Amino acid sequence: MKKNNKRKAAEVTACPEAPTSVAINLTALAISLLAVVWLREYGQQLPSRTLGLVVVCAALALPIILLEWLFLKPYRNASAGLDFSRPRKRGSARRTAVKLLGFYACIGLVAGVYWLFPEYRGSFYDNYFRLVKAALPWWLLLAIPYFYWLDGYMLKPRDGYWQLGSWLLGRRGDIDGRSIGQLLLGWLVKLFFLPLMFVYLGNNLTALLNFDFARLAGSFQAVFDFTFNFLYYIDLLFVTVGYVCTLRLFDSHIRTAEPSFLGWGVALLSYQPFWSAFSGNYLKYDEGPAWGFWLWDTPLAYGLWGSAILLLIAIYVWASVPFGIRFSNLTHRGILTNGPYRFTKHPAYISKNLSWWMISMPFMVSSSADEALRHSLLLLLVNFVYFMRARTEERHLSWDPDYVAYARYIEQRGLFACVGRWVPLLKFRAGCLFNVGSQPEKRGEVRPVLNGLAAE
């Protein structure tokens, strides 16, 4: 009996394997940073800054794809829905044509959104659209052999693209509307986040290429500014590559997308243009002087405080590295259990929110204690937005049994496992935002991962 209990305890606390390798991702990052060095020396010969972005992104993505293919073999993962061990089935040209119709329809919808909304008609996204216009014809052309070839190895070839294409052709009887909805939500994620992250990455890369390293000598402020930009550059590099590389062949496709309005609302609220519109009227917590103003006259405190901020940002970036080519908001593309995720859930949110307290120091507003309290409460509301992002993400990811196992592992062995014991309401419960009510597993409400119908 005791042996059975020990065996059950071991099963509960086991942590699932991650689909990525931190070592591979760091190797690719080193190669990409060498590309940055090359751009500093010879990048002036490139016809545009946009090509420099393509160089650094390709220098990250291609080594990850190659090394994963050699060592991790992601195409063998059950989540990929592929089987290369058997002879290739004869691909269906008709089925491929239906898939391509669904794929081209998605591209058309994205183009329509960009054409319709004023947000995308200014100069802010010019470099992004310039690259898209150059790459789109090749992308549309290469999709034909890719879809046809992959169709012969898919275990369930009637994926979201086939469902959408069939619906457009007027077939209504055997169509899975949820599969089409998940496909469109996945594309909505990409159409919103990719241009934004691409532009941000371009700005950080430009600052990196133009930085005068002589400024670093004897100036902690210059060291802080450079390191701050450099760390966020690394984060944006993984983020941008992640939004581009959504391919089933590498098991980096979108399995499922966040289905709830709440999940989408708290996520989009954290990004432009929604953040400026909302925070300016309701969550403006950083109206006072930032940390440097308060500590400038005390060099030792200035250096220690600034170093602590950089450490938190480094943890935030460390949380992006394990994603490799799989980063994406509002989607499930594999359960990360390596890097900082081995120690806690949501390490990026935790470190980022702590850094905002140290950067803005709302409790140091000089006008009055009343204003200091008000600004601190506003920052707490910002923290609450990210708390709700974490909870909605957990509810969505709990469709996957691997995430449930991971959450149980962290609940027992994570750095903040005590929080669940102190506040039972915050303990993980699959399918729920909070630990209230009856178990959803017992009610049959935790939906399975849509491996066969996931958007690519």
Q: What integer pLDDT is reported at residue 12 of this predicted model?
A: 56
Residue 409 in tokens: 């592992």
pLDDT digits (tens, 9 = 90+) for 216-225: 998 999 999 9
The number of residues making up the chain comes to 456
**What secondary structure letter does DSSP report for 402?**
H
User: What is the C-alpha separation between 185 and 199, in angstroms, rounded?
Assistant: 22
Helical (H) or strand (E) element with 268: helix 261-268
Rg, the chain, Cα only: 24
Q: What integer pLDDT is reported at residue 445 of this predicted model?
A: 46
**What secondary structure letter does DSSP report for 270?**
T
pLDDT digits (tens, 9 = 90+) for 368-402: 899 999 999 999 999 999 999 999 999 999 999 99
Q: What integer pLDDT is reported at residue 287 of this predicted model?
A: 87
25: closest CA among 194, 244, 237? 237
User: What is the C-alpha separation between 101 and 120, in angstroms, rounded?
Assistant: 25
Buried b vs exposed e over 317-351: b needs ≥16 C-beta within 10 Å? bbbbbbbbbbbbbbbbbbbbbbbbbbebbbbbbbb
Examine the pLDDT at 452 and tell me if it is beyond 50: no
User: What is the C-alpha separation between 362 and 383, in angstroms, rounded?
Assistant: 13
364 residue type, one letter: M
- Percent with pLDDT over 70 in the chain: 93
pLDDT digits (tens, 9 = 90+) for 314-324: 999 999 999 99
Among 121-135, 309-323, 359-373, 398-412, whose mean pLDDT is lowest?
Answer: 359-373
Examine the pLDDT at 451 and tell me if it is beyond 70: no
Section 113-124 average pLDDT: 96
Examine the pLDDT at 449 and tell me if it is beyond 70: no
Examine the pLDDT at 456 and tell me if it is beyond 70: no
pLDDT confidence band for 182 (50 / 70 / 90): very high
CB of 72 closer than 8 Å to CB of 324: no
Q: What integer pLDDT is reported at residue 362 of this predicted model?
A: 94
Among 77-91, 326-340, 423-437, whose mean pLDDT is lowest?
Answer: 77-91
